[in-house]
Amino acid sequence: MSFSEFTQKDYDWIRRDYEVLRASAEKRCANEKELAVVEKAFEFANNAHRNVRRRSGEPYMLHPIAVAQIVVDNIGLGYKSISAALLHDVVEDTDYTVEDLRAEFGDKIATLVDGLTKIKNVLDTEQKTHGTDISQQSLQAENFKRILLTLNDDVRVVLIKLADRLHNCRTIEHMPEHKRDKILSETMFIFIPLAHRLGLYGIKSELENIWLRYKEPDAYEEIKQRIDKRVEEKGSEMDEFVLPIEKALSEAGFKYTIKKRIKTPYSVWRKMEEKQIPFEEVYDLYAIRIIFEPTENSRETERDQCYHIFSTITGIYRYMPERLRDWVRHPKSNGYEALHCTLLSNSGVWVEVQIRTRRMDDIAEKGIAAHWMYKRNGFVGEGDNEMDLWLTRIKEILVNPDVNALELLDIIHNDLTSAEIYVFTPRGEQRTIQKGATVLDFAYLIHTEIGNKAIAAKVNQKLVSLNHVIKTGDKIEIITAEEAKPQAEWLQFLVTHRARTLVQDYFKTQRRQVLDSGRSILEDRVQQLGFTLDETTLQRIEVAYHSESRDELFYNIGLGNQSLENLEEVLKKATGNRISWLRRVLHLEDKPEETKAETFIIGSSDPNAPRFSIATCCNPIPGDPVIGFKAPDGVVTVHKKSCRVAERIAASHGDWVVVPKWLDQAEDRSFLVRISLKGIDRMGLLNEISRYVSLVMGVNMRKLSLQAEGGIFEGFIDLYVPTKETLEEMMKNLQAIDGIENVTRTEI
């Protein structure tokens, strides 16, 4: 922030933006009295932030106005939340106190602002020293715990914070790079999943696209251009697709609106990454949304009328049964209800169709706020109970004194991002549980004692063991025995946090001894192999063994549940030619005062360079956007910015973030990457591929694996390349070889 006298243009700018907000707030406020509170909050904040500017040079007051606009338009909150959004930075950035606000605006608005101020304070706090052991709680993870604890007080604080985060991300280009990386990583790890879980799909989608634009700028621009081109070429086909649907729905007497939408760049990128497919194979690029008013005094329920529309449109177009998603009968835990199907247009394009009532659409767009509004008005939807159960479960996790901050951060992240399935008790009661859960997880979901006494189960009348993985629609009956008790080996297959916690609590008296034993066993084994158990080594082991937390790693080793047979391979995998080269070429520059961020030049030959490594989870190469982490032991690890492991580290240890830069003229360097190929097999194809890679491009291959069956081949090549530019040129030319249909860069 900076200070300089406002001009008349600045005052006009503030007033213009506020008038737009006022028009939106007027529709949301119940009466003139509520609107007057919003007006008073604006005048108060406008006076408090007078002559204060953001990094961009624009008046600071535009930020709280924008946050309040998101609060009312995107979330649908009322006058108290709009007022709190306008005032959310007053206590932090001016001489006014919470008590001053309480005297002016009452207890509730002051409490909301106080909660937002505390969140801002803890997010901006950074650990000043690196001398603490990583097994101690991370300060930033502790900060997130405090943020999430506001769910226990008033969810509106988190909702307003999401609006604040969205506007900060919209203007993130004005932030220094290391701050930008920290903010975007926090956003992807916690705030985007939180927006999804609270049903704020519009906010989630915009945050995802901003994340991609800065984390993978080349991919974002390419996908956006290809989407725009596809829309230009095929746009008229969507109009032709909708016409017969409109005609049929009108003849059936429905009052409806049809909205068209195109898949976002992030959702296209994520599908390409996860399925390892090219843009051309993203078939569900188009979607339409049918939003209808349920017919009053009809014998058909909302659900029945959704099925009626489904029956009508599938009488016009053929649909894909395997892509039918019925969230009307089984709503998501965030209250989302809709019926999704994918139809084949007359021109051969697959189009996703979403069928919703107006109420369902409000909840889908404005999430938990709309959910509560309908509930207060006496309308109880199918998803209401699931939303309340989820909030209760989160609050139980948050107030558990035995969960440290780092554990909690992982637990909440996993809970926010895990997919769900729907299963039934013997009496036919529907329950929601995490995808991949076992019957024992289900037993603990029902009751602690049922889990503790479980010995087997019947799934759809068939006898199964406790580690049997359940699926949507299963009817489950737990078999118990009075003498049964929890077994330590259950932790090897339990999936849900609740079940794992209850079993761990049962063994709590011996937990510390088991943890200490596990750490000692690991230290001894690492030393026997000639390594040191420092922070970097522990991070590599955690990633390799897929541990959710450090304590879980030690605990499983102590119990004997985690084998260390391949430990030497794990430790050696992070060393080798790339590491040796980087030890010669990485250089630490002086810390720039204006950003207070450490910058590493990758490619310098300075012998005083610190210890570091290239992350084996994502294997970045020159040309990739990268992020660095300087751990307490001084080792710097370099990741791709879009790496999920990097997101987790930046979210829990934002103060470790440093800025690595690739040196254009570094010599004697090569980086291991993998490309996957798929196509139609023919005589001499393998020879042509290897000849091009080795002789034409002059690139060394480490491993080549191609398999052919039924005339189709697929496989991969591991090779060493100097830059991303070289890799992309090679992939483009390989794609041009007769018979090769698809070439993609994949993880090793």
Q: Tell me the CA distances in angstroms from 2 to 242, 357, 379, 591, one per residue in order.
A: 52, 48, 49, 22
- Max Cα–Cα distance, the chain, nearest Å: 84
pLDDT at site 440? 95
pLDDT at site 88? 92
pLDDT band at 637 (very low <50, low <70, confident <90, very high): confident
Q: What is the rounded average pLDDT of the residues 145-173?
A: 80
Task: Specify whether the CB–CB gap between 639 and 645 falls below 8 A.
Answer: yes
Give me Rg for the CA atoms of the chain: 28
How many angstroms separate the CA atoms of 111 and 125, rounded? 21
Amino acid, single-letter form, for residue 283: Y
pLDDT at site 586? 36
In DSSP notation, 405-429 reads HHHHHHHHHHHHH--EEEEE-TT--
- 322 noted as active-site residue: no
Instruction: Examine the pLDDT at 87 and tell me if it is beyond 90.
Output: yes
Instruction: Examine the pLDDT at 130 and tell me if it is beyond 50.
Output: no
What b/e string do you get for 428-457 counting C-beta neighbours within 10 Å, with b at 16 or more? eeeebbbeebbbbbbbbbeebebbbbbebb
Helix (H, G, I), strand (E, B) or coil at 361: helix
The answer to which of 201-205, 228-232, 544-548 has the lowest mean pLDDT is 544-548
* Phi and psi angles of residue 494, each rounded to the nearest 5 degrees, phi first: -70, 140
pLDDT band at 164 (very low <50, low <70, confident <90, very high): very high
- 93 noted as active-site residue: yes
pLDDT digits (tens, 9 = 90+) for 35-61: 999 999 999 999 999 999 988 889 999
Those residues with Cβ within 8 angstroms of residue 711's Cβ, 6 or more apart along the chain or in another chain: 680, 681
Task: Specify whether the CB–CB gap between 457 and 476 falls below 8 A.
Answer: yes
Instruction: Examine the pLDDT at 174 and tell me if it is beyond 50.
Output: yes
Instruction: Examine the pLDDT at 244 and tell me if it is beyond 80.
Output: yes
pLDDT band at 700 (very low <50, low <70, confident <90, very high): confident
Mean confidence (pLDDT) of the chain: 81
Cα–Cα nearest to 69, from 196, 166, 148: 166
pLDDT at site 137? 41
pLDDT at site 245? 95
pLDDT at site 421? 78
Instruction: Examine the pLDDT at 179 and tell me if it is beyond 60.
Output: yes
Instruction: Examine the pLDDT at 621 and tell me if it is beyond 50.
Output: yes
Instruction: Examine the pLDDT at 126 and tell me if it is beyond 50.
Output: no
Instruction: Examine the pLDDT at 603 and tell me if it is beyond 70.
Output: no
- Integer distance in angstroms from the first to the last C-alpha of the chain? 44
Residues 354, 355, 360, 365: is their CA dihedral positive or negative?
Answer: positive
Q: Tell me the CA distances in angstroms from 722 to 53, 445, 573, one per residue in order.
A: 44, 52, 20
Q: What is the rounded average pLDDT of the residues 457-472?
A: 91
More confident residue, 382 or 737: 737
Helix H or strand E encompassing 300: none
**What domains sit in the chain, N to C, each tagged with a CATH number?**
2-177 (1.10.3210.10), 234-366 (3.30.460.10), 418-484 (3.10.20.30), 508-573 (no CATH), 577-662 (no CATH), 671-746 (3.30.70.260)
pLDDT band at 297 (very low <50, low <70, confident <90, very high): low
Q: What is the rounded average pLDDT of the residues 253-265?
A: 91
Instruction: Examine the pLDDT at 285 and tell me if it is beyond 90.
Output: no
Instruction: Examine the pLDDT at 135 and tell me if it is beyond 80.
Output: no
Angle between helices 265-275 and 217-251 (to 10 degrees): 110
The answer to which of 151-155, 668-672, 729-733, 738-742 has the lowest mean pLDDT is 151-155
* The residue to which tokens 């001009």 are assigned: 7
Instruction: Examine the pLDDT at 604 and tell me if it is beyond 70.
Output: no
Task: Specify whether the CB–CB gap between 363 and 374 falls below 8 A.
Answer: yes
Instruction: Examine the pLDDT at 397 and tell me if it is beyond 70.
Output: no
More confident residue, 592 or 659: 659
pLDDT at site 581? 32
pLDDT at site 369? 64
Instruction: Examine the pLDDT at 239 and tell me if it is beyond 90.
Output: no
pLDDT at site 231? 82
The answer to which of 313-317, 469-473, 560-564 has the lowest mean pLDDT is 560-564
Q: Tell me the CA distances in angstroms from 601 to 453, 589, 606, 638, 657, one per residue in order.
A: 59, 7, 10, 11, 15
More confident residue, 106 or 300: 106
Q: What is the rounded average pLDDT of the residues 349-356?
A: 90
Enter the pTM of the model: 0.68
Determine which one of 17, 34, 58, 93 is catalytic.
93
Instruction: Examine the pLDDT at 540 and tell me if it is beyond 80.
Output: no
Percentage, residues of the chain above pLDDT 70: 81
In DSSP notation, 181-218 reads HHHHHHIIIIIHHHHHHTT-HHHHHHHHHHHHHHHSHH
pLDDT digits (tens, 9 = 90+) for 642-658: 888 888 888 777 778 88
How many angstroms separate the CA atoms of 314 and 554, rounded? 55
More confident residue, 584 or 362: 362
Q: Tell me the CA distances in angstroms from 591 to 130, 148, 670, one per residue in order.
A: 16, 33, 28
Determine which one of 92, 384, 477, 747 is catalytic.
92
Percentage, residues of the chain above pLDDT 90: 31
pLDDT band at 629 (very low <50, low <70, confident <90, very high): confident
pLDDT at site 131? 36
pLDDT at site 326? 87
Angle between helices 8-28 and 79-87 (to 10 degrees): 160
The answer to which of 311-320, 340-349, 477-486, 501-510 has the lowest mean pLDDT is 501-510
